[in-house]
Chain A
């Protein structure tokens, strides 16, 4: 029968397995350094989950998610930088009390738009609000003009390029190519210690699950089905009385909000934010995480982010120059042979075998408690 349940039993099991991995297996199995590394990988999962909704469900391919990741990360970094730049800490500067890079660039006072970032609540709100406002402006400009498909992808990529150029060019205000570095404490709590990093890892995991649950709700709502409908037959949706642009703007903004949270958690766990995380290459990498995981699956997106980043770290430790080639090859292989990514391999190849095995062992039982699969 038609179910509109929030989560099927299969999906619930998927959520539980991922939770066990993130909250039990990784913390037990990995040393502090590796755990922090996995925490960093998981910050990209926020972006990939957003892409699974935007691109996988809605067919809106954004090659500029790095912008939103970066905006969220910079908002967090600005707060942390201000906290680190007390007049005592910066006494040797020609203008004490402002971030070091501003002083190096002969700034005499804090720019007005940095002021609000003295406040943690404002900074935290900005982590979500700034990416969403940017996405909203881009979304309104593009979607109400019916710009879509490849054109939209190219334009978002251009935004990623512009954003990096801006950040690098405005060194005095943004820290330039080095980014915002040397972040120390959050409300007096030192975020550089092993203990803090472990706590932040768990905070990150918890936030990721909040995001996953929101994504699951959206996917299971009528809006989620509308996204799929729009991907297939945009005109039919429009002539069924929906303002298609509004739905695209919404899902694009939601993806930006997720990315912004991921960016902020990156800053907290890794201790800096820089334009290398904003530009074209990271933005494309984020799409690859989603594609490898299976762009239709929000859980797949998390595994994609984990796996590709883990491969990246392992490979680029030994063969740094091969990584980009490997990534390209991986993307082509996924698109050609596994269009539904890891999630597709799981649900088409592995799961049926597991079920067959399971059913062989207990041949006498019909479907468990009579519940149909979906």
Chain B
């Protein structure tokens, strides 16, 4: 019997010195679904991703990915289970080249001795070239990441996730701070990469959300305010009041 959901978040709670940033939150993600989480600033969106990928330890609840409990696992084990995460501010290795950035994310040689013995073989080069083309950086492979534009860094980080080929991809505001032209290209990129995998995206740009979302979860004060298709959520009076109204 195949499981209906790839990710099951149940009763997830985290409290920072008594302040519940995420409060008994439950939601379920299906295979190949693109779930968008929206909500006002400070709603706890980033914290939810932090909890799923193990960056923040939950106070209560459970996160099951393909029936494995993620809350009991270390960050790198969660990655190997198939969960990839992009941070809100672009996190790339500025002192390394685009090629090297992608290479470090290539899913091989993750142990100490594996890393010492790692060889840059044809398969690695081919895969990196392939990903670089997808993220519009094939001409910048030898450039230090520090010299990329903000938008290009965002793409690079997305590329670093793609090369791992995660089954669940989590993106925190992937188009924030991008120019209009970059935004369009990113939408096109995301539309391509969300095929064949489950994705959780945090985003404020409603046009963008409408474009990619299978379903939308509206978060408010760490709780689900509303959930459903974009259309349904947009017409929910509670959502209009706390989020879309202003």
Chain A residues in contact with chain B, CB under 8 A? 1-2, 4, 217-218, 221-223, 225-226, 228-229, 231-233, 235-244, 246-247, 250
Contact = CB atoms under 8 A, between A and B. Distances in A.
B105 interface: yes
A157 to B, nearest CB: 26
A210 B115 CA distance: 21
B76 A225 contact: no
B141 A2 contact: yes
B115 A239 contact: no
Contacts of A1: 142
Contact of B92 (A2, A226, A236, A243): A236
A221 B117 CA distance: 7
Interface residues of B, number: 40
Interface in B84-137: 84-85, 87, 91-97, 99-101, 103-105, 107, 109-112, 115-120, 125
Contacts of A231: 95
B69 to A, nearest CB: 18
Contact of A222 (B53, B92, B109): B109
Given A2-B142, A222-B104, A237-B104, A242 B76 contact: yes
Given A225-B104, A238-B75, A239-B53, A247 B112 contact: yes
B160 interface: yes
A248 to B, nearest CB: 10
Contacts of B120: 2, 4
B96 A229 contact: yes
Contacts of A222: 103-104, 109, 115-116, 118
Contacts of A218: 116
13 contacts: A2-B142, A4-B119, A222-B116, A226-B104, A229-B93, A229-B101, A235-B87, A236-B87, A238-B75, A239-B84, A244-B76, A246-B112, A247-B112
Given A2-B97, A225-B96, A235-B55, A241 B142 contact: no
Nearest to A243: B76
Given A225-B104, A238-B75, A241-B110, A2 B99 contact: yes
B163 to A, nearest CB: 9
A217 B94 CA distance: 22
B124 to A, nearest CB: 10
B83 to A, nearest CB: 9
B116 A240 contact: no
Most buried by B among A231, A242, A244: A242
A231 B104 CA distance: 14
Contacts of A240: 79, 104-105, 160, 164
A4 B164 CA distance: 21
A244 to B, nearest CB: 8
B54 to A, nearest CB: 8
A232 B138 CA distance: 23
Contacts of B142: 1-2
B111 A246 contact: yes
Contacts of A228: 93, 95-96
Most buried by A among B92, B93, B96: B93
A236 B91 contact: yes
B80 interface: yes
Contacts, number: 87
Contacts of A232: 93-95
Given A223-B112, A223-B115, A239-B55, A233 B74 contact: no
A235 B91 contact: yes
B93 A241 contact: no
A235 B97 CA distance: 18
Contact of A247 (B103, B115, B118): B115
Given A238-B75, A239-B79, A242-B76, A225 B87 contact: no
A241 B80 contact: yes
Nearest to B74: A243
Contacts of B110: 241-243
Nearest to B128: A2
B160 to A, nearest CB: 7
A218 B95 CA distance: 17
A253 to B, nearest CB: 10
A241 B91 contact: no
Given A226-B104, A243-B74, 15 more contacts: A2-B120, A221-B115, A231-B95, A235-B91, A236-B87, A236-B93, A236-B157, A237-B104, A239-B55, A239-B79, A240-B104, A241-B79, A242-B76, A244-B76, A247-B112
B104 A238 contact: no
B109 to A, nearest CB: 6
Given A223-B116, A238-B75, A247-B112, A233 B97 contact: no
B115 A226 contact: yes
A236 B157 CA distance: 9
The 5 closest A-B pairs by CB, nearest first: A241-B79, A222-B118, A223-B115, A236-B91, A229-B93
Contact of A239 (B85, B95, B103, B116): B85
Nearest to B86: A239
Contacts of B101: 229
B146 to A, nearest CB: 9
A4 B74 CA distance: 31
Contacts of B115: 221-223, 226, 247
Nearest to B94: A232
Contacts of A243: 74, 76, 110
B112 A250 contact: yes
A232 B146 CA distance: 11
Nearest to A236: B91
A204 to B, nearest CB: 26
A246 B116 CA distance: 13
